[in-house]
Amino acid sequence: MNTQTMVFLDCLGGEQSMWRLLVPAFEEQYRVVVVELIGMGNSDLTAYGRAAHSTLEGHASDLLKVMSELALHDAVFVGHSAGALIGVLAAVREPQRFAKMVLVSPSPRYIDEQDCAGNFEHKDINELLAAMDGDYNGWSQAFAPVVAGTDEHPEMVMELTNSFVRTNPEIARHFARVSFFSDSRAALPFFTIPTLIVQSANDVIAPLAVGHYINEQLADSRMVVVETGGHCPHLSAPQKTLSAMDKFLHHETAR
């Protein structure tokens, strides 16, 4: 077995099971560590603090603490959505802990601005957050199909809905505000780890323009577009995602 470690990190409403379609492909080659964000999944909810987790940097500190306690260096990191940017922020601070990065559906800024093509206006985010505040379970049922982005996998919509519902509503609301109003663009020029960006062909949350923006900003990256819809290509198109990862990790170097 390769002594190198592969670390997986999800995002809002994420659980360890979200990586189940990828993890088995790497267990013989890597030591696999699946990390849940504090406040998500089966993590210790009492460890979540509004002050400590008022920015994605707070979650990056959590990730670095886990990697420090496990004495991880030169790890392969795989992060999804906001979890991908949390990995970027951690790698800027302690690059020696990371050898390669796989960013699945990342976005450094969700709000559309002149120099970054996010897919939301301020009012869109405010409406989303108001829906979460007003009826969290109803929001979960409405938002899951947007994340899934496909009518071909109703079981995926149900899985995402259930995952959102199981998440503590207060923590989910707070993390959503932190995540959707975050701006990690300033960190990108300082990020030097070889990186693969995995992007869905049709993603309402992180459209292709955002993936291209990140690819242009990073010093050592390549981007692969997976022919699938939605924000979770690791769930909707796992074999295509695995193929892109395999080529990047074992056969190709980054751009």
Marked catalytic residue, from 81, 107, 221, 236:
81
Task: Residue 182: name the closest of 230, 128, 136, 125 by CA.
Answer: 125
Marked catalytic residue, from 140, 163, 174, 203:
203
Task: Residue 201: name the closest of 176, 168, 226 by CA.
Answer: 226
Residue 44 catalytic?
Answer: no
Residue 231 catalytic?
Answer: yes
Locate all alpha helices (DSSP H) within the chain, ordered by sequence. Answer: 56-69, 82-93, 122-134, 136-148, 154-166, 169-180, 208-217, 233-236, 238-246
CA geometry: angle 95, 231, 101, nearest 5 deg: 15
Residue 151 catalytic?
Answer: no
Marked catalytic residue, from 80, 153, 231, 234:
231
Antiparallel, parallel or unpaired: β 75-80 and 5-9: parallel
| Positions marked active-site | 81, 203, 231
